[in-house]
């Protein structure tokens, strides 16, 4: 007597439901004109701008400069107690004062 192994049924779709939802959303965005560059080009053409700025990627030096500026702004904005709109608790305040050498 031969016993055949039970094979689970194969789903008709190879991906998960969330993957299918992402694919549908992506398709809807593409159909509704999800790319703003085409819209910007059409608008500039409609109002008669012929010398529109060409789209170009940043060089490595420019990217590093922008990154340095963002980091500097982030660092300058970081003050004790700044952040989520509430003051620090006593332990956190003491810790910050020790870090910044105020105690």
Question: Three-state SS across 57-99?
Answer: CCCHHHHHHHHHHHHHHHHHHCCCCCCCCCCCCHHHHHHHHHH
Please report the pLDDT score of residue 35 as a whole number.
Answer: 66
Query: Residue 27's domain spans which residues?
Result: 18-50
Quick: pLDDT tens for 24-70: 888 887 777 666 777 777 888 888 776 545 567 778 888 899 999 88
Count of domains in the chain?
A: 1
3-class SS of residue 35: coil
Specify if 81 maps to a domain.
Answer: no
Rounded Cα–Cα distance for residues 1 and 7 (Å): 18
Among candidates 33, 29, 49, 31, which has minimal Cα distance to 41?
A: 49
Specify if 62 maps to a domain.
Answer: no
Calculate Rg over the CA atoms of the chain.
28
Specify if 27 maps to a domain.
Answer: yes
Confidence of residue 17 (pLDDT cuts 50, 70, 90): confident
Pair of tokens at residue 69:
């500026």
Angle at 101 between CA 95 and CA 102, to 5 degrees: 85
Specify if 66 maps to a domain.
Answer: no
Specify if 102 maps to a domain.
Answer: no
């Amino acid at each position: 007597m031969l016993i055949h192994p039970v094979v689970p049924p194969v789903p008709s779709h190879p991906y998960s439901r969330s993957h299918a939802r992402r694919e549908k959303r992506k398709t809807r965005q593409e159909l509704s004109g999800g790319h703003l560059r085409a819209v910007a080009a059409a608008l500039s053409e409609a109002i008669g701008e012929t010398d529109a700025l060409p789209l170009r990627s940043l060089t490595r030096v420019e990217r590093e400069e922008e990154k340095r500026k963002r980091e500097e702004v982030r660092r300058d904005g970081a003050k004790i107690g700044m952040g989520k709109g509430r003051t620090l608790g006593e332990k956190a305040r003491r810790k910050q004062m020790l870090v910044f050498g105020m105690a």
